[in-house]
Chains A and B, each alone.
Chain A
Amino acid sequence: MHFASIQFAYFLAVTLTVASLLRGRPVAHKAFLTAASYVFYAKLSIPPMLLLFASSLVNYGLGEAMDRATKVRHRKYLLWAALVANLGLLGFFKYFGFVAQTARDVAMVLGLKPNETVLELGLPLGISFFTFQGLAYVVDLYRHQGKKAQSLLDFLLLIAFFPKLLAGPLVKSKRFLKQIADGPPEGMVDLPQAVSLIASGLFKKVVLATVLATRLVDDAFVAPENYSGGALFVAAIAYTVELYCDFSGYTDVARGIALFFGYRLPDNFNSPYSATDPGMFWNRWHISFSKWLREYIYFPMGGSKGSLPRTFLNLFVTFTICGLWHGATWGYILWGALHGVVLCIHKAVRNARPALGLVGREPWWWLGLGWFLTFTVVVLSRVLFKAGDLETAGVYFVRMFSVSAVGQGFDGWVVLATIIGFALNFVGRPLRRWFIQLHERIPTRFRPLFWVAVGMAILALQPGDIAPYIYFQF
């Protein structure tokens, strides 16, 4: 269900009403929330819901076994079982087509007849997220770092909690399980934060991201031959901003809704485009996923504790996997690999700083240069990310840097939306704080009218088209 649709609003109102009535009864409350989350997921279609349930069961079972197992050998087997089950499921749905296509390409090159089989199962939405969430749970138990879920119901809710189910922040299982076990508070805590998060999220997603997507970006990346170099340049920046608005908008709405239900989800973004170096960028972009990569791939591989070449390898592999996770095209993989390489360079430069005589605080020009380079790398690598296949990306780059005057234009609203979206990186939080203060000043009984006004404003600004959530497809 699209977060900005009227059906979802009804779903939310009904679910929240019943859930708050059940707050005194923990088991019923959890059961209801889990059921509601499954209904939410099943609205798309039934088979993925069964898949979600099966995957949760398997992970819960493995977690239980891991908790009881004492022999190292047994624990290792269980760990492997978890890896195979989760990654196998993900790999099958996501990468079958890619592998089959690559096999076909190789067959064509060798002159053999390509295999015609094509898997036409739809990719269940959010599969990457819930498999990773389950895997993290089992791995945490393996490392004696996590806490076993108190009951199957708790674990089902951990995985299926609908605000974070489709593209949500990946939570630390121990912390979220504690929230689930302790239950939500009796009253509504942090109401202004919740309202401001939902309002800001809807604005970013429904207004900004949609304007950018439907008026320039989608078209430019599908058929770059139709656009002039300047337009493609603007489209690349617009896409960077659109991705931020889309995804941080979704996260904000998810966090706001979770607050209404009495749960806290961690933030995923921390003004990423103000990062002055790539390391900082990844600390601020898709934070929960970035932390997941660090915890479960980078550190197990050795992190930065070994020699420098080994660190480079770890960085490169981790970020290539990051790219691969996003999708099964060369565009994503190259995007990830490129970020890995850039991080290696950054690490090398950082290590060389004492040798260059730079100690203490960085000078302003260093930070400025760092910001410019980081942003450039981010924008250019996003072209690979969006274009998907190498052919389109190639055409895009060639046209972007050639001085051709021929092509369709774009309207000024795209530029305005890009500027606003980009500015939100820097002033987003102060704006939210201002909104919260505004909200606080309104007397409690008039607050619903304020919310109606905000809703009307967003409806009014909503462009006529719908662009789907980008991250739902992962």
Chain B
Amino acid sequence: MVPPRPRRSSTTSLPPKPRSISEVKRAELERRRNSWWFEPDATTITELDPDGLPVGMAADDTRYFRAVPGLPMRQVIFGLWVVVAALSFYGARDLQSAVVHDEGLSQRAWLLSLVNGLTSASELLGPAKLRDLIDAGLAPIKQKAPALEDGGASVVEAGQAEPDPGAAPLPANVGTGTERNRILIVGASSIQFYMGAELERRLEQYQSTVTHRFGKLGTGLARPDTFDWLTHLPKLLENFKPTVVIAQFGGNDGQPLEVEGGKVLAFGTDEWKTEYARRVRKVIDLASAAKAKTIMLGMQITRLPKHSAKLKVVNEVTQKTAEAAGAIYVDTWELAADEEGNSRATIVYGGKSGQMYLGDGVHYGRLGATFVAEKLSWRLERLLPLVPKDRALARAMVMDVESVVLADTSHYLAFVPQPGDNPAERFPVLYLLHGADGAWTDFSDRAHATLQAFAGANRIIVVTPDGTPNGWYLDSSKVPGASVETYFMKELIPDVDARLPTAKRRSVIGLSMGGNGAIVLGLKYPGIFEAVSSMSGAVDLSKADKRPALIARLGPYAENKAAWEEHSAIHMVRARRQQAMALPLYLTVGSEDVWAPPNRALHAVLDELQVPHEFKESPGGHAWSHWLEVLPGHLDWQAKRLKSR
């Protein structure tokens, strides 16, 4: 038993000596004391804690405090202030940065001038230079540089001198350089974590596609002092040689910008917008110089209204700049929103229910991120030549038509099944007509995966054309460019038949405005469509007689009843009963839909005319939640008829 050695210290006195005790008993006591469930009893030994400070009563006993002399506090306080002052001087630039970028503090002029003065003094007298020197010397280890510093050697397993030519091919994160899509994804935390990881995983599901992702929490274009994207991006571009750069910045950019000369631009001012636009432009230019296309992703809505308002400003600048530079801007604002356009608290996806966001209300949780990433990948399929590796899935192709009657370029999206064994295979076509205030991207935005799987499995080409937002699929001489019917029948359909491997057979599904259009066109042009189905079709235009678009195109209802009835399904079935008899018809509507009564009336009329048709009413309103439920039914119904011959 060796008593502890007395320490040579000016501030502590000798600790009390422990009692001696036999070896075995000591071992047992050690063992017992080391158990978590040790209950102290009378044989506990007084001892020192591992720091050398007495335990038990002695340490907390203030008599111990009083017994030892202490240093006068004023010395300690003085020393502390010396340290704080010296470190402020040494780290003056950090201090300046902290004040400048804090919204509350930067408003106080006296504080700003104080830190500016301190920084200048520090630079003049040397400490700042010393700091820079030390920082520069240690810089290689401090910032995590993007991976792929040397192209491919970094992914060789540790211990191998050089890659064995007979070994497995290089990992996917380098690729061979010859892929059709080499996608570089950069951004902040959304890219670094769940959403970026899920997006990368999805992009790996396409043929001839290789992805590299680098995201860094808390970064953006506003703070090059924290992480300078404009310096790191060229390195990434040089090492990975992408064909496309997908960038999402802005989440951390809702703050003042510092420019050359120390001037600080407050957020949201015109000068701020100009400077931010300059930085966004730099990103795009860097990518163009490396021969890569740029896709700038906008930021999505968050749970924090103030933060969301800032993101809107940033998105606006990004969009203007991207479009001016010839890059693509993808608006993702409502990807995380519910039907009314508000941020959603929970999400039901893939059979699971969970919270959309993490506790901070800004970053997505795992489920939310997966949901958003899926929708984002659908949009990317419309922008990049992404062909699924799974040959059972159709490929999404965006086609352009130069329309004479619309005097504009019109787009449509075609889901084309991947080539099978028969190179001469031809596919029937299913047209999907969107609703009022809609676009050709509506179906893809909501049900891209469903349509892709359907088209591939049933070997049908699915086309979602552009019916212009309120074209109502009719021709009107009153409004310029309002010849949607002619466009659709005389320009679009021939274009599809000419450019895609169609079997010259087609049918049509319409939604709301498109439902009415589908029935009317199906009856007006017999023999063109083999089957027509309508989801919550607007089948009686008289019920929409207040709509400005219809009034402009057809004239006021009261004076032009005939014209309105000519384009209403409910009257057309009566006028063209013969054609209706020969046309398979399927109608669905939601019970709470405002268009339910006209659809029920149409059903009654068809029964009265003894026209064979199918009508199904199910719970739901005039909303996508209902349409997504009934869409599979429509697709199955159409598939049966399109495949029957």
Contact = CB atoms under 8 A, between A and B. Distances in A.
A123 interface: yes
Contacts of A456: 87, 90, 134
Contacts of A189: 11, 65, 68, 70-71
Contacts of B582: none
Interface string B99-136: 00000000000000000000000000000000100110
Given A179-B60, A264-B59, A283 B71 contact: no
Interface string B366-382: 10000000000000000
Given A6-B88, A191-B71, A452 B83 contact: yes
Contact of B62 (A108, A178, A260, A407): A178
Contacts of A277: 34
Contacts of A347: 37
B66 interface: yes
A165 B38 CA distance: 28
Contacts of A449: 82
Interface stretch (B47-55, B429-437, B439-447): B47-55
B324 interface: no
A299 B37 CA distance: 9
B51 A188 contact: no
Interface in B480-536: none
Contacts of A455: 83, 86-87, 90
B345 A452 contact: no
Interface string B271-294: 000000000000000000000000
A425 interface: no
A409 B35 CA distance: 40
B133 to A, nearest CB: 10
A185 B303 contact: no
Interface string A427-461: 00100110010001000100111011001100111
A230 to B, nearest CB: 8
A405 interface: yes
A405 B157 contact: yes
B595 interface: no
Nearest to B27: A361
Contact of B51 (A193, A282, A413): A193
A16 interface: yes
Contacts of B141: 413
A223 interface: yes
Contacts of B131: 459
Interface residues of A, number: 104
A219 B94 CA distance: 27
A222 B197 contact: yes
Contacts of B193: 222-223
Interface in B1-53: 8-12, 24, 27, 33-39, 49-53
B51 A432 contact: yes
Contacts of A17: 77, 80-81
B230 interface: no
B397 interface: no
B70 A405 contact: no
A91 interface: no
A231 to B, nearest CB: 10
A191 B142 CA distance: 32
A6 B98 contact: yes
B342 interface: no
What is the size category of the interface that chain B forms with chain A?
35 or more
B315 to A, nearest CB: 24
Contacts of B9: 192, 436, 440
Interface stretch (A55-63, A114-122, A126-134): A114-122
Interface stretch (A45-53, A77-85, A97-105, A149-157): A97-105
A17 B75 CA distance: 11
B95 A6 contact: yes
Contacts of A294: 36-37
A7 B131 CA distance: 19
A376 interface: no
Interface string A220-254: 00110110001000000000000000000000000
Interface string B354-374: 110001010000100000000
Interface stretch (B167-175, B418-426, B542-550, B586-594): B167-175
A178 B59 CA distance: 12
Contacts of A384: none
Contacts, number: 224
B147 A444 contact: no
Contacts of A185: 62, 65-66, 70
A429 B49 CA distance: 11
Given A120-B361, A223-B197, A283 B303 contact: no
A459 B87 contact: yes
A380 B24 CA distance: 35
Contacts of A44: none
Contacts of B269: none
Contact of A187 (B70, B81, B135): B70
A406 interface: yes
Nearest to B365: A389
A449 B37 CA distance: 46
B197 A226 contact: yes
B192 interface: yes
Contact of A429 (B12, B33, B51): B51
Contacts of B401: none
Contacts of B262: none
A386 B607 CA distance: 64
Q: Count chain A CB atoms within 10 A of each CB in B39, B53, B60, B171 and give the residue with the most.
A: B60
A280 B35 CA distance: 5
Contacts of B172: 406
B66 A283 contact: no
Nearest to B135: A460
B628 interface: no
Interface in A178-205: 178-179, 182-193
Contacts of B39: 299, 303
21 contacts: A13-B80, A17-B77, A116-B346, A120-B359, A187-B70, A189-B71, A190-B12, A225-B197, A260-B80, A267-B49, A270-B50, A278-B36, A290-B36, A408-B147, A433-B52, A444-B71, A448-B80, A452-B86, A455-B83, A456-B87, A456-B90
Interface of A: 6-7, 9-10, 12-13, 16-17, 20, 23, 97, 101, 104-105, 107-108, 114, 116-118, 120, 122-123, 175-176, 178-179, 182-193, 214-215, 218-219, 222-223, 225-226, 230, 260, 262, 264, 267, 270-271, 277-283, 290, 294, 298-299, 303-304, 315, 343, 347, 350, 360-361, 389, 391-392, 405-409, 411, 413, 429, 432-433, 436, 440, 444, 447-449, 451-452, 455-456, 459-466
- Please provide the 10 A-B residue pairs with the shortest distance between their CB atoms, ordered closest to farther: A187-B70, A223-B197, A182-B62, A448-B79, A20-B73, A282-B36, A448-B82, A185-B65, A118-B345, A279-B35
Given A225-B197, A290-B36, A451-B83, 16 more contacts: A20-B77, A101-B354, A116-B345, A178-B60, A188-B76, A189-B71, A222-B192, A230-B158, A279-B34, A299-B39, A392-B366, A409-B155, A444-B71, A451-B82, A456-B90, A460-B138
